[in-house]
Every structure is written in C-alpha cells, then in structure tokens.
Amino acid sequence: MTKDNCILGGLGRRASKKEIKMDQDSVQKPSVWDRDQCLFASLGQKLTRSEQKRNDIRNAASEIFITQGFEAASMDKIAALAGVSKRTVYSHFGSKEELFAHIITNFCDLKREELDVKPDHNLPLKDCLIKLGTKFLHMLHYHGSASLFRILISQAETDPSHGIEFMNTGPKISRELLATYLEEKIAAGEIDVDDPIEAAQSFYSMLFGARYLTCLVTGSPPPSPEEIDGIVESTVERFIYGLKVKT
C-alpha cells in the first residue's frame, strides 16, 4: 500500500495496525477496496480534528460508492465506516449527492497530480507521448477509474450532472494540457497540426481503445505492464506517422 498507488486515500491519515501488517506481509488477496482504488491521495500534512473527520468521511464515502454504487450507498453506511455520527456527516456534506459531487470534482485533479499524468515539456515529442500514454493507461486500469466510470454511466440518463463535472475536470483539462504541448512543437516548427485540441483528443481516444472498453463493461483483467507498453508504443507510432498505405 504505497503512496504511488493511491488516488482517493487519506490526506494525512495515519495507517491502522491492520494496514501496516498488510503492507509488511505483502498480502496475497487484497480486499476489494485497497489503496489502488483510493481517491484522496495521502499528502502528509497535519490535519485538525475537524479536517480529519472530513477526510475520514471522504475516504469512507469513496469506498462505499466504489464498492456498492451510488444508489446502494447511504449516509448511514458512510458514517458507520468513517466512525462518526450521521449528524457529523451532514455537518460536512449536506447530502449524499453533494458528497459524491465533491469526490468527483477532486478525483481528476488529484489523480493527475499524484500520478503525474501530464505532458513532460522537457522531452521530445515521441518520448513525451510514450511517457504520457503509459501513465495514462496505468491510471485507467490500476487506480479505480473503471469503478467510477461505471457509476457515472449508471447515472447518465437520470442525473448526468456528475458525468458532466467529471468530463470538465478530467478529460477536458488533460486534452488542453496536451494541446498546449503540441502548440509548443508547432511554434518550434517540429510538427504541422491544424487543430491541437482535436489532435490531443484523438491521442487519448486511441489510448482508451477497445481494450479498456472491454475491461469496463465485462470486468475482464487489465493488461499487464508489458501489454500496456506495447499498446502505447503502437498508439504513438500511429499517432505520429499514421498508416502506411501501399500503392
């Protein structure tokens, strides 16, 4: 349970004896909710008592939402898991909808920063895209994203607001960050791209691909790190050089 594997985790939360033992013993069968699926990364700052309770509530809510889904989640369950009263939960978050919206709003920014899923402006184009693509696919497949996506999809018809918020705080910003990098390469005369935003969207769409969709809707195992390397390499090649048409 390392910090690098955490997205929705504890902001300064002290590990329990059970968690420490799990780390030391290199657990063979981790629970459904482990540090690979956390949403608030441990940043190590000292929290006030109120902040600690708020953080415990967010951690508990994240686990309940991810493992049970939005509809089955309740403030009673969240309070029990957080070790606080339901009144305390409501004093921090006015409703289940507000609490879920808070998690969604922070999810993308925290993942992007914790996993450094951003273009490296110090690298040449191909190296930058390979590094970015690898981090992006590890984020999708190994850090709880699929469970969150399933919740958002299940709510899309009845309440699309959370999905819209997710798209604006996640994919939209990631697309803009990559487009800014591509614009630098255009200005330097290294590439010729008419629409950097569209190009950035195409790159992420290619990475997302059929493999992730299969994992998302069937629950099939994620690709191994070696398979991810292969997916990224081929995606970057197609993105930069396109298809070779035989004449």
**Rounded mean pLDDT, 58-63:** 88
Residue 76 and residue 86 in contact, taking contact as beta carbons nearer than 8 Å: yes
Most confident of 98-102, 112-116, 120-124, 140-144: 120-124
Q: Which parts of 80-214 are beta strand (E)?
A: none
Average pLDDT over residues 51-74: 88
Per-residue pLDDT, 89? 94
pLDDT value for 8: 34
The predicted-structure confidence for 200-212, as pLDDT tens digits, reads as follows: 999 999 999 889 9
pLDDT 10s digits, 73-98: 999 999 999 999 999 999 999 999 88
**Which residues lie across from 39 on neighbouring strands?**
8
Question: Average pLDDT for residues 49-58, to the nearest whole number?
Answer: 89
Tell me what pLDDT residue 33 has: 33
Mean residue pLDDT across the chain: 80
State the pLDDT at residue 237: 95
The Cα–Cα gap between 222 and 212 comes to 8
Q: Positive or negative, the Cα torsion across 33, 112, 115, 163?
A: positive
Q: Reply yes or no on whether the pLDDT at 6 is more than 90.
A: no
Q: Per mean pLDDT, which of 5-14, 111-120, 147-156 is the most reliable?
A: 147-156
Residue 17 has pLDDT above 80, yes or no: no
HEC states along 161-195?
HHHHHHHHHCHHHHHHHHHHHHHHHHHCCCCCCCC
Per-residue tokens: 181: 């990098």
Rounded Cα distance between 57 and 133, Å, is 33
pLDDT in tens, 173-223: 999 999 999 999 999 999 999 999 999 999 999 999 889 999 999 989 999
pLDDT value for 102 = 85
The CA distance from 3 to 19, in Å, is 13
Q: How far apart are CA 120 and CA 118, in angstroms?
A: 6
The pLDDT assigned to 147 comes to 83
Token representation of residue 88 = 């305390």
DSSP classification of residue 48: -
155 half-sphere exposure, CB direction, 13 A CA radius:
22
21 CB burial (10 A radius; 0-12, 13-18, 19+): exposed
Nearest one of 64, 66, 67 to 76, comparing CA atoms: 64
Percent of the chain at pLDDT above 90? 47
| % of the chain beyond a pLDDT of 70 | 80
**CA-to-CA dists, residue 10 to 15, 40, 48, angstroms:** 9, 6, 13
**45 band by pLDDT with thresholds 50, 70 and 90:** low
Q: What are the angstrom distances between the C-alpha of 119 and each of 75, 112, 122, 166, 224?
A: 39, 11, 9, 20, 23
Q: Above 80 in pLDDT, residue 47? A: no
